């Protein structure tokens, strides 16, 4: 126990040291010793853009990459009022995240409803495994965003199209891992169930599912990571609301501090989602 605590403490110290080094390098990289003609030209262009957008050009403090302090100030501003709603293009970060997580959650749930039963069918039947394999191998490598134009044309709704893209990117890792987990259940356990004349439904829920649960959760964990990655890119394409649209909108406003803040939020939320599935995976993993 003491050894584990010592390792965790040392790992935390190393992580803190790495973070301090990264912040120091970031700060040094944003320091500009002189203002070159190119930078002056960029400043003039940005000032003109700010005038066109109805903003005060004097409010623009820097045209370079934002410093850690600038990102910290932007983060504090967003986190101090995360639920504001001043129109289509001005919503708090919490509202943007809620839209993105809602799309991801619904698309992921639909993928679960399809991938788990089909994965069980493929894993329990060699015939169905061979029948489904060509379709899986052809459809799995297709980028989810390649489906977006078709989804927008057929579904006529950007929200529904985003949910469909999340579904199509989430279903394959879950399907493949579920089939593998079901097919890998120990033959001895299945023979015991056969000897006891356990019904197929009871065998599926009381023998196969507990044994395959860690592998199934691995597929779900991978799927969630891919879904969170894809929704950001999808929202950049379809616009409207969401953290991806927030990034694109702030880039159009030339606010790199807000873009960096959004990138950090995306990373933190992705980490929390992964940790959540990791905890559930530990709960269903049997350690001999």
For residue 98, pLDDT over 80 is answered with yes
- Neighbour-count burial for 168-179, b at 16+ CB within 10 Å, e otherwise: bbbbbbbbbbbb
Give the pLDDT of residue 35: 43
* 260 lies in some domain: yes
Q: What is the mean pLDDT of the chain?
A: 83
Q: Yes or no: say if 97 and 231 are a contact pair by the CB < 8 Å rule.
A: no
* 250 lies in some domain: yes
pLDDT in tens, 18-46: 988 988 888 888 775 544 444 444 455 55
Give the pLDDT of residue 30: 79
* 36 lies in some domain: no
CA angle, 13 then 17 then 20, to 5°? 140
Q: Stretch 207-222: mean pLDDT, rounded?
A: 90
CATH assignment of the domain containing 220: 1.10.3720.10
Q: Stretch 99-119: mean pLDDT, rounded?
A: 94
Question: What predicted TM-score, i.e. pTM, was given to this entire model?
Answer: 0.81
Give how many domains the chain has, as a whole number: 1
Tokens of 164: 């469909």
Q: How far apart are CA 157 and CA 152, in angstroms?
A: 6
Q: Yes or no: say if 119 and 174 are a contact pair by the CB < 8 Å rule.
A: yes
* 14 lies in some domain: no
Residue 225: give the domain boundaries.
Answer: 93-284
When mean pLDDT is compared over 36-40, 54-58, 148-152, 173-177, the highest value belongs to 173-177
């Amino acid at each position: 126990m003491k050894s584990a605590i010592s390792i965790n403490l040392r790992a935390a110290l190393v992580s803190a040291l790495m973070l301090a080094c990264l912040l120091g390098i970031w700060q040094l990289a944003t320091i500009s010793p002189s203002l070159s003609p190119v930078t002056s030209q960029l400043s003039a262009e940005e000032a003109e853009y700010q005038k066109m957008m109805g903003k005060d050009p004097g409010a623009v403090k820097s045209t370079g990459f934002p410093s850690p302090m600038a990102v910290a100030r932007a983060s504090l501003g967003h986190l101090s009022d995360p639920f504001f709603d001043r129109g289509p293009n001005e919503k708090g970060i919490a509202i943007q995240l809620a839209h993105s997580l809602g799309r991801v959650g619904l698309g992921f749930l639909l993928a679960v409803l399809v991938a788990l039963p089909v994965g069980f069918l493929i894993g329990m039947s060699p015939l169905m495994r061979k029948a489904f394999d060509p379709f899986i191998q052809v459809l799995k490598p297709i980028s989810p965003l390649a489906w977006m134009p078709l989804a927008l044309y057929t579904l006529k709704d950007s929200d529904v199209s985003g949910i469909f893209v999340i579904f199509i990117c989430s279903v394959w890792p879950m399907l493949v891992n579920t089939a593998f987990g079901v097919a890998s259940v120990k033959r001895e356990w299945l023979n015991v169930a056969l000897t006891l004349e356990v019904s197929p439904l009871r065998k599926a829920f009381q023998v196969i599912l507990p044994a395959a649960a860690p592998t199934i959760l691995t597929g779900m964990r991978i799927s969630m990571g891919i879904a969170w990655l894809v929704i950001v890119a999808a929202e950049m394409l379809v616009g409207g609301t969401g953290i991806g649209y927030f990034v694109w909108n702030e880039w159009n406003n030339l606010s790199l501090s807000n873009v960096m803040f959004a990138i950090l939020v995306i990373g933190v939320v992705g980490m929390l989602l992964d940790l959540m599935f990791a905890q559930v995976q530990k709960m269903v993993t049997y350690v001999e």
